Amino acid sequence: METEATGEPAVTIEMSETDTESFEDLGPRVAFANGGITQAEVTTIPSVEEIPEGTLINSTLDPPTVNISSASLTVPATSGVVRRSIDVDNRASEATIAAAQMVHQIVSTGKEKAATWVKAYANLDNLRPHFDVEPRTVVNRLIQSFVPITDLSSPEKVPTELYGPLVTSLTLVAVLQMNMKTSNTSLEEATLIETALTTCFGYWAFLTGVIIGLSYLCSTYINKIQACSIAGYGMVSHVVVSFLAELFHTDRTPFFMFWFTICGASSARMATVIASRTVGVSQRILASSIIIFIHMTFLLYLHFSYHHILDEIVEVVEHIEEALDIE
Amino acid sequence: MAEFESTSYSFGDLSGEMDQPIMTVCDDDDFDEPVRETIMRDLRDVGHKFKHVVFPLKEGSNLLLRDWDLWGPLLLCMVVGAILHEGQGGPHFTQFFVLFWMGSAVVTLNNKLLGGTISFFQSVCVLGYCIAPLVGALLFCRIVLISTQGAFLLRFALRFVVTLVAFGWSSRAAMCFIGDTAPSDRRFLAVYPMVLFYFIISWLVITYSG
């Protein structure tokens, strides 16, 4: 590059457009890297486009300045002397700019992804179609969640509705809370409501994940919302059995009876629905057995972890019975 | 220079007032009123809303939804949490606090998903004010547990009946306010989580053993 007037080569240190943009974004960090020059100082010093030939480089003089507003990085030569090594400075600047570019790119990509995720999943309008349901339909689905299907030749329809599962989970939270209160359960580092919420919603998410995983493994035709719906309606049995166990809490026998019949029916319903949408006998058996095992085991966990039979409760019941006999 | 001095310039009428214009003070401006009056006025508003909850009428639903505030719910939440905290067991205050605000959030979210026209804080305000009957029941239970000795069955029956009535009262009051904001064909779906919310609080009240 030569100047038009003199024809002498210009010693201009130019940087790419992207480098300069990142440099601008850095702001104070660039000033720090260049010897502590603040942004205010940098902007007041005019830029110099060229360095004349024969410029002496001396590191003891003032540090080079950068005009942030211009599109190129230049080295001042106001007195014809540059006080610091340009090579060392350039290397440091390039490293800083590259790091800044990378950080900027990561941050901007992260922001875009987060915005896309929020727009896709955290928008209530996207969830509204899954809550568009009639009360009668919900009641029918609640009842049907205990009825296993017999014809596995054709795939069973699975709703993509989430109102029933959400309300079922909330009801299970309430019943579990009742169980814990009645059993006088004490937790060391958590409250009962937190534990109940985490347990119920955690199980819902876990069972949904298991169904989705099995659908990949066993080639089951089911999407995520349908898996969520099946898992949620399956928890109705847990609500019913936990509530009945609360009423008949003086003995374990009623609980095992309810567990086997009610929870078994619900598990069979889930397993048969999954099996009807799965191709292949061995895959059907694998998916069904895993779901039944997990579903029935979780109810045992709920009962034996949070529903203790207290001697005090037995005494209170006996006390009430005695009082009624006396009357 | 003489020509300049002799030249007359006509600017028209530029005369005006140097004084600041006097601002008309609005009647409802509370900048100049004493703090005591401001507090009393807010308390009167809160009390007025409590009256609408205790005697739920259709005409009063607009007041609670339009002029919502969170003072009443916070006050009731603190009272219930403090009383429950005296009982046996874990951190009841924290438990009730989490239950109250998370429950309100879930009920409101459900209402919004069902196509309800109520905003988040309006719903929280209504749900909070509507636990007033249950707070009354809790205070009654506290008095019963302190005052009467023995007669376990009678005490329990008394507490059970009062809590049951308070539960129905709270649910009905909340239905008057929030029920209409949900679509008519899905009113039951909007009401169920709300009733469940009050049921859990009622359970906490009935199991309170002093």
In chain B, which residues have their Cβ closer than 8 Å to the Cβ of A163?
A: 110, 113-114, 189
Residue B148 lies in a domain: yes
- Distance in Å, alpha carbon of A183 to nearest chain B alpha carbon: 11
Contact A292, A267 (CB under 8 A): yes
> At B160, is the secondary structure helix, strand, or coil?
helix
Residue A289's pLDDT is 94
Mean of all residue pLDDT scores within chain A:
74
Q: How far apart are CA A314 and CA A251, in angstroms?
A: 9
Any CB–CB contact under 8 A between A194 and chain B? yes
Please answer yes or no on whether B192 and A191 come within 8 Å at the CB atom. no
Contact A300, A245 (CB under 8 A): no
Please answer yes or no on whether B94 and A191 come within 8 Å at the CB atom. yes
- Distance in Å, alpha carbon of B160 to nearest chain A alpha carbon: 15
Residue B122 lies in a domain: yes
Nearest by CB to residue B90, choosing from A174, A191, A320, is: A191
Please tell me which of A37-51, A102-116, A172-186, A294-308 the model is most confident about, judged by mean pLDDT.
Answer: A102-116
Residue A229's pLDDT is 93
Any CB–CB contact under 8 A between A136 and chain B? no
- Distance in Å, alpha carbon of B173 to nearest chain A alpha carbon: 21
The CB density around residue A200, as the number of other CB atoms within 10 Å, is 24
Identify any residues that bridge with B119 across adjacent strands, giving them in sequence order. none
Residue B77 lies in a domain: yes
pLDDT above 70 coverage of chain A, percent: 63
pLDDT at A2 over 50: no
Contact B134, B167 (CB under 8 A): yes
Instruction: Determine the straight-line distance between the first and last CA of chain B, rounded to whole angstroms.
Output: 100
Distances B104 to A224, B18, B196 between C-alpha atoms, Å? 28, 56, 11
Residue B34 lies in a domain: no
In chain A, which residues have their Cβ closer than 8 Å to the Cβ of B192?
A: 167
Which distant-in-sequence residues (6+ apart) come within 8 Å of A256 by Cβ?
Answer: none
Please answer yes or no on whether A184 and B192 come within 8 Å at the CB atom. no
Tokens representing A40 are 């205010």
Total domains, chain B: 1
In chain B, which residues have their Cβ closer than 8 Å to the Cβ of A323?
A: 152-153
Residue B154 lies in a domain: yes
Please answer yes or no on whether B98 and A182 come within 8 Å at the CB atom. no
Residue B52 lies in a domain: no
Residue A204's pLDDT is 93
The pTM for the full model equals 0.66
> At A56, is the secondary structure helix, strand, or coil?
strand
Please answer yes or no on whether A177 and B203 come within 8 Å at the CB atom. yes
- The whole-number average pLDDT for the span A145-167 is 88
Residue B82's pLDDT is 85
Instruction: Determine the straight-line distance between the first and last CA of chain A, rounded to whole angstroms.
Output: 113
Mutate: best of A177, A181, A187, A204, partner B, most B CBs <10 A = A181
- The whole-number average pLDDT for the span A21-25 is 40
Say what the ipTM of the complex is. 0.73
> At A220, is the secondary structure helix, strand, or coil?
strand
In chain B, which residues have their Cβ closer than 8 Å to the Cβ of A124?
A: 109, 112-113
> Which among B167, B124, B141, B43 has a CA at the least distance from the CA of B83?
B141
pLDDT: which is higher, B6 or B176: B176
Chain B residue with the nearest C-alpha to that of A180: B89
Chain A residue with the nearest C-alpha to that of B188: A135
Residue B14 lies in a domain: no
Domain span at residue B201 reads 60-206
E strand intervals along A73-227: 81-82
Name the residue type at position B78: M
User: Could you say which DSSP state residue A53 is in?
Assistant: T
Residue A54's pLDDT is 45
Band of pLDDT at residue B16, cut at 50, 70 and 90: low
Residue B143's pLDDT is 86
Residue B113 lies in a domain: yes
Residue B150's pLDDT is 65
